[in-house]
A and B are shown apart, each in its own frame.
Chain A
Amino acid sequence: MRLTELATVIRSKNAGPRVLTLDLIFPDAASFAKVEAAAARLRTEVARAYGRPAEEVSVITYPPANAVKIALRRDIMAGDPDDSDVYGAQQHAPLLEITL
């Protein structure tokens, strides 16, 4: 199952200038449960898609919103000369390719 077929929201944003947070929001408890059951697999897939070791990827499930939150350390501080996305709002694209 592809994340794009399950989730109604797939987004990224900074949580402070050093952390990137990725949210997956699902339309109902059933689709959320499928991803929750595959949370370990999701973590390794996110690590692969972003080119990081899995230990650096935090995955938190959040049943009140049928959501999964992923947090990654930013390699580059928001707004540094090397930064390409000051708000971190376009770093979700690698998630669109993930299949669980």
Chain B
Amino acid sequence: MNAVARLREDFARGKRRPLRILGASGQLGYGIPSPALRAGLDRAPDMIGCDMGSIDIGPAYLGSGTMAPTHIGARRDLRKVLHAALDAGIPLVIGSAGSAGAAPHMEATLEMLREIAAADGLAFRMASIGADIPRDTVTAAMRAGRVHPLDGMPDLTEEDVENADQLVGQMGLDAFRRALETDPDVLIAGRACDTGIFATLPVMLGFPRGLATHMAKIVECASLCCIPGGRDTILATLDDESFTLESMAPQRAATPASVAGHSLYEQSSPYEIIEPDGCVDLRAARYEPLDARRTRVSGAEWIPAAKTTIKLEGARFLGHRALLLAASADPRFIARSVDIFDEVAEIVAGLVCEDSAPDYDLRFRVYGVDGVIKWPEPPAALPREVFVLGQCIAPTPERAQEVIRTTKQYLLHHGYDGRLSTAGNLAFPLTPPEVSAGAAYRFNVYHLMETDDTAGLFPVRIEEIREP
């Protein structure tokens, strides 16, 4: 009998006790500090969880099916937590596999685990949950008026659904639950609510949903809720009234203010955690110090929703990107740069579109003036130097390079009004100054879909990994 089965049986027989949960990493693949992980394992935890992905990293990973960290980094971290969980005889739960949790990310993650198992002679039962949403399911829901835009997105169209290179849904607790009910040693979920990773096991064992979800929302970021915040493993101990947080790195303290403050992080409201089938109300949450390094949290309340909705995320291919990296220290160029870019873009279009259509997008950003923020007012004084980033997105890498290299030449020599520096307008920090930057994507689906069939949307697969 494995750990999940044993816990389920004990709790079913009334042998209830507090549950100890380790949040080992908020971003698997970027390194897991070993001392804090080892300290956490010494506390006899019941489960190890890791979040591996997010939408925050942008559309390129979802669209292209690639991971944000290197494969070396991802494999190293997976190996570390896999050994930790198997040695301790406790389940390992990983969510949003491979950075974005679509089929290619899942397959790469599962393949790494199989390779690690084969190399290290490990045997375990692995459950996985897919998060790819079939296009016809979305289209049918759309026609039935069951797809709604999020945060000011336009209404979804059939073209958007068709154009998305990857289309995933964020699974919630019930998908994790179906997988955990198969008593896996390792559970790898595709795109998922980060709360599902940590809250499902306690909720299955009868702990209150509000508390478990509040705990999950904090430990999914490892020790980020501490002072000073960091990526070290955190331990949460959950009972029926509260949970206690303690960083496994001695220099990090979970204080009432630092833990309460974490509810602000990357959320539009600190008072609620929205889940597919309800919401956690944190208005009555209490944060009390147990000592200088531990905080006890209580009061979160679960409010079920009338209907289940899942978040859909899709990214579509835009083209191939080439960049120009350049700079200027000429006050006249800096003052006139917006006009200069327009003039040069027109000259370039005249040259590169003689035999082909205007099939590219060319834009410039001036760092030092407004490269980072769309300020409502121009600066009081212009800077002494600026960095200029030119960006072209075109149907092929060659076309993007053709446009950006032509742009470089004509921007360098453009004879704008009032020019003194007639030998060249730009300083190039590198040679060549043009860089191919791979494929460009954009999020084209960010919508809510009502559903009555989460089991159909998020199928569970079981794989027995045997010793070679």
Contact = CB atoms under 8 A, between A and B. Distances in A.
Contact of A71 (B268, B318, B372, B442): B268
A67 interface: yes
Contact of A93 (B150, B266, B373): B373
Contacts of A64: 256, 260, 263, 270, 285, 287
Contacts of B271: 60, 62
A78 to B, nearest CB: 6
A48 B375 CA distance: 10
Contact of B270 (A9, A60, A79, A82): A60
B257 A66 contact: yes
A84 B150 contact: no
The contact size tier of chain B is 35 or more
B391 A81 contact: yes
A85 interface: yes
The contact size tier of chain A is 35 or more
Contacts of A49: 376
B270 A16 contact: no
A77 B443 contact: yes
Contact of B150 (A18, A75, A94): A18
Contact of A77 (B260, B393, B442): B442
B58 interface: yes
Nearest to B58: A79
B373 A94 contact: yes
A58 B152 CA distance: 15
Given A16-B446, A18-B152, A94-B375, A79 B267 contact: no
Interface of A: 9, 13-19, 21, 23, 25, 48-51, 58, 60, 62, 64-67, 69, 71, 73, 75, 77-82, 84-87, 90-91, 93-94
Of all A-B residue pairs in the complex, the 3 with the closest CB atoms, nearest first, are A51-B376, A18-B151, A79-B58
Interface of B: 55-60, 150-153, 256-257, 260-261, 263-271, 285, 287, 318, 361, 363, 365, 371-376, 391, 393, 440-443, 446
10 contacts: A17-B443, A18-B152, A18-B153, A21-B267, A65-B264, A69-B267, A78-B58, A78-B443, A79-B58, A93-B373
